Structure formats: structure tokens, C-alpha cells
Amino acid sequence: MVFKTAFSLVSPPGREARLSILIFHRVLAEPDPLFPDEPDVTRFDQILKWATAWFNVLPLDEAARCLREGSLPARAAAITFDDGYADNYTQALPILQRHGVSATFFVASGFLDGGRMWNDTVIEALRNTTLSVLDTGLDGLRELSLGDIDAKRHAMHRLLAAVKHMQPDERLETVERIASHCAVTLPDDLMMSSAQLRALRAAGMIIGAHTVSHPILAVTSLEQAREEIESGKAHLEQLLGEPVRLFAYPNGKPGSDYRPVHVNMVRELGFEAAVSTHWGANTRDSDPYQLLRFTPWDRNKLRFGARLLQNLRRPAIISQ
């Protein structure tokens, strides 16, 4: 009750409302020691219990429209997922349905039906390799210890950071070389199938676009960036038989991951709203094509609520 009252004071209904948008990627069947902060089903269920008790949780398309119109309810929030992992359907969907929540799933269309994102190639290669030391071939990051799970987690974070902002072709070549050195069989069932995507939509969830292959737009040519955004949208629309009106920028940090020119592309291609990964809560002054998102990492209810309250008070404008 204390948090509900506090959220109501900071985010009243109408023109002074603020919209909190929570961001997730995966919901695991059980905890993963390589990714201890990634929510499993128990943790996600707990988060939804808190969210639905404290907030009026709306579908993102409805929430974005009400934000523009100044008609949001008090304590408005929306739930989003990025990338298109299969566990969004197998694990997250039943929990969302149990809590009566419609979430938005931003799907990188090129990984449907057996594809694998570049970061998962790295993660699964390190998870399953028997090597104790990996020579990455990268300057400044030659040899990484893989002796135990803590060492693998440290190596994973360093590798992902080093590779993320490479040009797409260079990035693909690098991760494939790393996987080859690790000498493992990589999974091909991490992402949703087209059938699961359609079933997700049939269950009342919202589908948004997230490009085709999840490139960092800021280091991609403008021609290729537009093709990624436009083709990702078209593929999803063909699969669903309806317009796709929401977009999420890959990685999502303004300036380093996308730039104003990409915001203009998204607007020109007919999307109605787009989301970043910049922290904060949204007001009527927020750019609808750069909506803010944030999810606390705390496991304690008091700390989780306090951090959400702190986020609600952040400035709602992105400067680039």
C-alpha cells in the first residue's frame, strides 16, 4: 500500500501521468549459473505480482497512445521483451496469462525458426567448451581463462563487450571463429518458431519489430540500417497478417547504438512508437519514438519498489 500511494503521487492520472516500461529478454525454466541475474519462472512470477499490485499494466500500444493523448491512468506501466526467445512463449506466456497481463514482444525476424543470435553463439560456446583457456585472437583480449563457471562468466562479459560494436560482418566472422575454437555443438532452438510467434499474438500479446539480424544501427550503413528495419517489419507483418506498429532499437542506447537519423527512419517507415533502453519513465513530453525503459535488478521487494520509484522521478527526455 505504501508503494502504491507513492507511485500514485509521482504518476497521477491524465496529463501529468508517467509511464513506466519494464524490459526483459528471457524467462528461464530454472536459474542459470552463467546468467544469475536473468529471471527464471519463479522470479518473473514474483515481479509480475509486484507490478500488478502497484501499477495499472497496459499493452504498450494502448499505453503509448494514452500517453500522447494525456489520458493515462495513474501508475501506468507496460511490460516488454526483446529479441524473440522461445522461452518467451514457453515460460513467460503462461505467467503473463495467469496475471492477466498483455506484454509486447520485439522480435528480430531473422532468427525465427532455428536461428541464433551472435551473442548466444558466444555464450553457448563458452558454456559447453572443455577448453580451460581460450585464445580469442582479439587485440587486448588474447587469452581468457575458462576454468570454472565464474571464469566463464567473466570471459563472457569481456567477449560480448569487445565484439558488440564491430561491423556486422566482422562481428559474425569473429564469433564463428570463437565457436570453432571452442569445438562444441551449438543449440538451434533458442529462438521462437513462426508458429510460436503466431500463437503468442493469438493469446493477446503484442508483437513489435526489432530489425532482421539485430545490428548496432550506429555502426551500420544507413542503407543497410533502413533495410534491416523495413524488412524486419515486413516479415513480421507477413507472418501475422496485420500491421506491426511498434519498434525497439537493437541494444537501444541513444548515441552509441542508434542516432537521430535512425529515429527518423522508424518514423518514416510507419511505426507509431519505438523504445530505447535509456532509463527513466515517460511523460507527454517524451519522444514517442524514443520511449524510456527500466527494470530493477533487486530481488528484495522493498528495494525493487524503491528503485522503481526512483526511476519514475528521472528526467523523461533523451538528449543526443
Q: Which of 139, 160, 182 is the last residue of a domain?
A: 182
Selection from 109, 99, 89, 111 nearest residue 203 by Cα:
89
The band of 315, judged by pLDDT with boundaries at 50, 70 and 90, is confident
What whole-number distance in Å separates Cα of residue 223 and Cα of residue 106?
22
Domain co-membership, 295 together with 153 = no
Q: In this model, does residue 1 exceed pLDDT 80?
A: no
Q: Does some domain include residue 320?
A: no
Q: In this model, does residue 247 exceed pLDDT 60?
A: yes
Q: In this model, does residue 302 exceed pLDDT 90?
A: yes
User: In degrees, to the nearest 5, what angle opens at C-alpha 184 toward C-alphas 183 and 188?
Assistant: 140
State pLDDT tens for residues 259-289. Answer: 999 999 999 999 999 999 999 999 999 999 9
Taken in order 23, 28, 29, 31, the sign of the CA dihedral is negative
> Cell numbers at residue 61, please?
500500444
Helix axes 222-240, 260-268, angle to 10 degrees: 40
| Contact yes or no for 19/282 (Cβ under 8 A) | yes
Domain co-membership, 92 together with 141 = no
Q: What is the 3-state secondary structure (H, E, C) of 14-29?
A: HHHCCEEEEEECCCEC
Q: What is the 3-state secondary structure (H, E, C) of the chain?
A: CHHHHHHHHHCCCHHHCCEEEEEECCCECCCECCECCCCEHHHHHHHHHHHHHHCEECCHHHHHHHHHHCCCCCCEEEEEEEECEHHHHHHHHHHHHHCCCCCEEEECHHHCCCCCCHHHHHHHHHHHCCCCEEEEEECCEEEEECCCHHHHHHHHHHHHHHHCCCCHHHHHHHHHHHHHHHCCCCCCCCECCHHHHHHHHHCCCEEEECCCCCCCHHHCCHHHHHHHHHHHHHHHHHHHCCCCCEEECCCCCECCCECHHHHHHHHHCCCCEEECCCCCCECCCCCCCCECCCCCCCCCHHHHHHHHHHHHCCCCCCCC
Domain co-membership, 108 together with 199 = yes
Helix axes 118-128, 168-182, angle to 10 degrees: 20
Q: Which of 155, 182, 209 is the last residue of a domain?
A: 182
- The per-residue pLDDT for 140 is 81
The band of 141, judged by pLDDT with boundaries at 50, 70 and 90, is confident
Domain membership of residue 144 as a residue range: 118-182
Q: Which of 133, 159, 182 is the last residue of a domain?
A: 182
Domain co-membership, 265 together with 202 = yes
State pLDDT tens for residues 33-90. Answer: 999 999 999 999 999 999 999 999 999 999 999 999 999 999 999 999 999 999 999 9
**pTM of the entire predicted model:** 0.96
Domain co-membership, 132 together with 78 = no
Q: Does some domain include residue 318?
A: no
State pLDDT tens for residues 197-237. Answer: 999 999 999 999 999 999 999 999 999 999 999 999 999 99
Domain co-membership, 193 together with 299 = yes
- The per-residue pLDDT for 319 is 64
- The per-residue pLDDT for 167 is 85
Share of the chain above pLDDT 70, in %: 98
Share of the chain above pLDDT 90, in %: 91
Q: In this model, does residue 124 exceed pLDDT 70?
A: yes
Indicate which CATH number applies to the domain containing 81.
Answer: 3.20.20.370
Q: Does some domain include residue 317?
A: no
CB count within 10 Å of CB 277 equals: 17
What whole-number distance in Å separates Cα of residue 118 and Cα of residue 168?
10
State pLDDT tens for residues 87-115. Answer: 999 999 999 999 999 999 999 999 999 99
